[in-house]
Amino acid sequence: MSPYEAYPYGEYGSWNTLRNCITHHNFDEGLEIPGFANGGNADGFSISSGEGNVVTHCLAYTNSDDGFDCWRSTNTSFLYSLSFTNGVADGNGSGFKAGGLEPSMGAVVEHCIAYGNTKRAFTYNSGENVRFSYNTSRSQHRRGRNKCSFFFRYF
């Protein structure tokens, strides 16, 4: 459910658990859609609305955008999951993206592993009150100017 639908935000698509799922090779490079980057709208797991959703023990690889993304959701958790080789064409290529535009807040990313993604392994992506704990990153391709595996805002 998208926050752009005619339903009240957060009322639908909340309090779901995705467990033991695999997503790979989601790919939108070459699509001519105004306002979207070439390859930048095909995440492995995209929780783009709702409250309290949990993604646990999941795998996302070789998607044209991010592996895991909780843009515009609140209190989403990514737990015990693996993300690798994401980011094709102009896709962001982050392993775990924990936030975005308002109302993004309260994301939790724990016990996750990211490697070989084209940008960052873990990023708060302007989410508020984001928590990263016990995560591991290795060998990001680090496309672009920011060449770090973890990108956080310090208070």
Question: Where are the chain's structural domains?
Answer: 42-149
Q: What backbone torsions phi and psi does residue 54 show, to the nearest 5 degrees?
A: -125, 130
- pLDDT for 155 equals 45
Tell me if 47 sits within 8 A of 85, measured CB to CB: no
Confidence of residue 8 (pLDDT cuts 50, 70, 90): low
Question: Which of 34-38, 46-50, 83-87, 145-149 comes out lowest in average pLDDT?
Answer: 145-149
Q: Which of 25-29, 59-63, 115-119 is predicted most confidently?
A: 59-63
At 77, the amino acid letter reads S
Q: Across the chain, what does the average pLDDT equal?
A: 84
Confidence of residue 40 (pLDDT cuts 50, 70, 90): confident
Alpha-carbon distance 100 to 127, whole Å? 5
- pLDDT for 139 equals 75
pLDDT tens figures, 67-101? 999 988 999 999 999 999 999 888 889 999 998 88
Confidence of residue 56 (pLDDT cuts 50, 70, 90): very high
Pick 33 or 72 by higher pLDDT.
72
The rounded percent of the chain whose pLDDT value lies above 70 is 80
Alpha-carbon distance 140 to 1, whole Å? 31
- pLDDT for 85 equals 94
Measured CA distances, 30 to 68, 94, 129 (Å): 22, 20, 35
Confidence of residue 28 (pLDDT cuts 50, 70, 90): confident
Sign of the four-CA dihedral 100, 44, 64, 11: negative
Supply the pTM of this predicted model.
0.84
- pLDDT for 60 equals 98
